[in-house]
Amino acid sequence: MNFFEHQAAARRTSTRMVVLFALAVIGIVIAVDVAVLVLLGSQMREDGGAVVGLLVFSTLATLAIIGLGSLYRLASLRGGGEAVALQMGATEVPEDSTDLQLRRLRNVVEEIAIASGVPVPKLYVMEHEAGINAFAAGYSPSDAAVAVTRGALERLNRSELQGVIAHEFSHILNGDMRLNIRLMGVLFGIMMLSIIGQRVLIFGRGGRSKEGTAVLVIAVVAMIVGGIGLFFGRMIKAGVSRQRELLADASAVQFTRQTVGLAGALKKIGGLHEGSQLADPAKTEEVSHMLFGEGRSFSRLFATHPPLVERIRQLDPLFDPGQLNELSRRWSVAPPNGLQEDLAMGLGNATPPPLPAVSHRMNVTPPMVAAQVATPTRNDYLRAGAMVGTISPELTAITRQREQVMPLLLALLLDASPQIAAKQQIEITSRMGPAIARQAAEIRNQHLVDLHPMLRLPLAALAFPLLRMRPRPALETFLDTVQAAVHADGKTSLFEYCLGRLLHVQLRESLDPSRYARFGRRKPGSVKQEFATLLAVVAQAGNADPAEAQRAYLVGLQRVLPRDHMPYAPPAEGVLALDGVWEPLDALDPLAKQVMVEAITAAISHDGRVRVAESELLRTICGVLHCPLPAMLEQG
């Protein structure tokens, strides 16, 4: 499956989860009603109306408890990935950490994020967990958090760590994260009765009165009925999670282009005493479906992951399960050390492909580009490493400084025209002060004038983790400044406009993660005018000749609306007309988005070639519409 098919499958899985949740609720309500009849029905046998009223009350009370429990849990997770990581006891990885294991983790995550075309997620480490495990949590890539155990950092070499992180990025890219975080909310609701029963038993043991005994009986019944909720909860998690874990393994292999790393990580889980187990059973129960490996022991019926041997054999068909016993004996004497294995194997042997010249023109086709969306390959990973290495140490240092990331991102938006840049600086000064405006100008003049176009989005991705740590008022002011800088002059380039919009989208999502998380359902026929506007602006921006621009527009339109006659009519307001198209287009059904990406690509590549600047524009537009493109377009 490609990205769009994964997204469509995630939406179907989300629907199936709702159905299973409804069935679980019905089962719990029936169990509660039966318990009420058994305990109290005999006392009301002669009054049928009272029995009916009692059943109605118990049904409504049960539904209220489940509903309020789910709403409460979802509200507690509104902070997205960061909230989940903190609730698991993870601590954030500092930007300037001198811990070699943490620095290696940050390097791997940054390179994979750049290769994938998404912002660098927040990084966390579960310091007191000796098992090998990890998870990615959040509603979207913009609020994603990746957490790994200290055991994973200590035991895995770089290749194995890459495989684990690539597996987690698959969940980020394919819509699994938002599904997982919603699953946490709804499952909490159906387990509320069990939780209430446990609390009542803990705090009500001393009651010896008749009323106290009745309360304890009710608590025991609540725990028994809650066991039904626990059964259904584990069944739902197992049904939703197992297949998606195999798909994530396959995506990780496609990314790294080798099976040794991921298979090695799984073998270490099977061969080490700690395995992938986490210490806190209660917390692990709730997040078990989003972990890299089983966080605790479950029967096969309730397992959230396929059997370990099955996962290894998917990667290494000749694997003999008996090898795990041999590895276990060897590692019981001398546990593996990931950093020492890196030194023994040698690093830096792969030669990354060089960045193409700015004047380079690529030969691509719309289906090729659509197939690349959120499907990074080994070459993309190597290119990402080359990009990070190409960025000057001074610029890299700026992305690590909390007070410098805002001026850096504003500098990326400053126009090449001195007149337009002057107007933009006036807008920056009026909103954020002369110091920020001066820093932005200095960064542009000293570091960005000759910056390769392909390094602008990676710079923004590297700066994003520190940017979103700023207080909400500061971010609101920054977003207002970004929009003012973009709209300072009607002649703003399409790339600068789209980069500003991309920053706006990503920050909005990081500020209110749950508000913007959704799977689109709209069809192309409902957004015809928005399609026409976007294609017209793209065609006009890429072609000085009006006849060529019209031809590019028609080529793109033929891809998405072949039966409709939408005349070429570039909007008078230019790129500003795009303000009204993003939300409707982003709400498209995943498979309709695939057609949209092909249409935009067709318009940009109508002459058979795509310039580097055009490829970066395409990547930026796709980023705004949540269809992230890897670091570089593959050529035919």
For the stretch 550-596, pLDDT in tens is 999 999 999 988 888 899 999 988 888 898 999 999 989 888 888 99
Instruction: List the domain boundaries for the chain.
Output: 3-82+185-236, 86-171+241-333, 391-516, 520-624
Contact between 9 and 17 under an 8 Å Cβ cutoff? The reply is no
Measured CA to CA, the distance from residue 587 to residue 230 in angstroms comes to 35
For the stretch 85-142, pLDDT in tens is 998 999 999 988 889 999 999 999 998 898 888 889 999 999 999 999 999 998 888 8
For the stretch 154-204, pLDDT in tens is 999 999 999 999 888 888 877 778 778 878 887 888 778 777 777 776 665
Contact between 559 and 602 under an 8 Å Cβ cutoff? The reply is yes
Residue 168 known to be catalytic: yes
For the stretch 353-396, pLDDT in tens is 677 888 888 888 888 888 777 677 777 777 888 888 888 889 99
Q: Which of 82, 160, 168, 616 is catalytic?
A: 168
- 274-277: list long-range contacts, CB under 8 Å, 24+ apart: 274/130, 274/131, 274/132, 274/151, 275/131, 275/132, 276/131, 276/132, 276/133, 277/131
End-to-end alpha carbon distance in the chain: 21
Measured CA to CA, the distance from residue 292 to residue 388 in angstroms comes to 27
For the stretch 254-313, pLDDT in tens is 666 667 888 999 999 999 999 999 988 778 877 888 889 887 766 666 777 888 898 898
Helices (H), 257-321: 260-271, 281-287, 308-315
Chain position carrying tokens 């009745």:
214
Quote the pLDDT of residue 492.
Answer: 77
Quote the pLDDT of residue 72.
Answer: 87
Higher pLDDT, 348 or 313: 313
- For domain 86-171+241-333, give its CATH number from 3.40.50.2300, 1.10.3720.10, 3.30.2010.10, 3.40.50.1950: 3.30.2010.10
Measured CA to CA, the distance from residue 7 to residue 74 in angstroms comes to 22
Nearest-5° Cα angle at 174, 74 to 249: 110
Quote the pLDDT of residue 349.
Answer: 52
**SS3 label, residue 522:** strand
Classify burial at 346, counting beta carbons within 10 Å of its beta carbon; exposed 0-12, middle 13-18, buried 19 or more.
Answer: exposed
Query: How many CA atoms lie less than 13 Å away from 383 in the CB half-sphere?
Result: 22
Backbone angles phi, psi at 318, to 5 degrees: -90, 5
As a whole-number percent, the residues of the chain with pLDDT over 70 amount to: 90
Structure tokens at 440: 């932005």
Measured CA to CA, the distance from residue 633 to residue 377 in angstroms comes to 11
Residue 352: which pLDDT band, with cuts at 50, 70 and 90? low
Mean pLDDT (whole number) for 237-265: 76
Measured CA to CA, the distance from residue 188 to residue 25 in angstroms comes to 12
Quote the pLDDT of residue 208.
Answer: 54
Question: Mean of the per-residue pLDDT values for the chain?
Answer: 84
Quote the pLDDT of residue 281.
Answer: 78
Q: Choose the most confident range, by mean pLDDT, from 212-216, 432-436, 483-487.
A: 432-436
The one-letter amino acid code at 133 reads N
Residue 210: which pLDDT band, with cuts at 50, 70 and 90? low
Mean pLDDT (whole number) for 20-28: 82
Sign of CA dihedral 178, 235, 13, 296: positive
- Other Cβ atoms less than 10 A from the Cβ of 468: the count is 19
